[in-house]
Structure 1
């Protein structure tokens, strides 16, 4: 298993794009510099009236399947 940490800060108007048809994934850069393709369905629950802001932890298994995705702060 691998764990990645990253910080997101997106304004609400950018978060609206997460709901557009055809937008299924986003690419984020973890603190260690690794680029990770993440399904938008994992981000949608974290959208608030101000957008997405916080520190996140992503854990994947050896087959690159998401085991957990959580907001830390």
Structure 2
């Protein structure tokens, strides 16, 4: 049995103030557009883990399995 993963890459620059919307409870998911133009729906809790004093800034990789279940959402730089 082979396991195939799909990787999506994102460059995000969301200010700390804009991150407030992630905590209001009104959003469950956000729609991100990958560097190759693919729209990907990501649960808000995956983004919250990457908020710092600048907001959410950097390049990220989303790994999903063949059923589009998230394996990892990680900051690359």
TM-score by length of 1: 0.96
Tell me how far 1:49 sits from its aligned partner.
1.3
Runs of 4+ deviating beyond 3 Å:
none
How many residue pairs were aligned? 73
1:59 paired to 2:63: yes
Q: 1:68 aligned to 69, 72, 75, which one? A: 72
Two-structure CA RMSD over aligned residues (Å): 0.7
Separation (CA, whole Å) in 2 of partners of 1:34 and 1:5:
10
1:46 paired to 2:50: yes
Per residue, is there more helix in 1 or in 2? Answer: 1
Pick the structure with greater CA Rg.
2
Gaps of 5+ in 1: none
Gaps of 5+ in 2: none
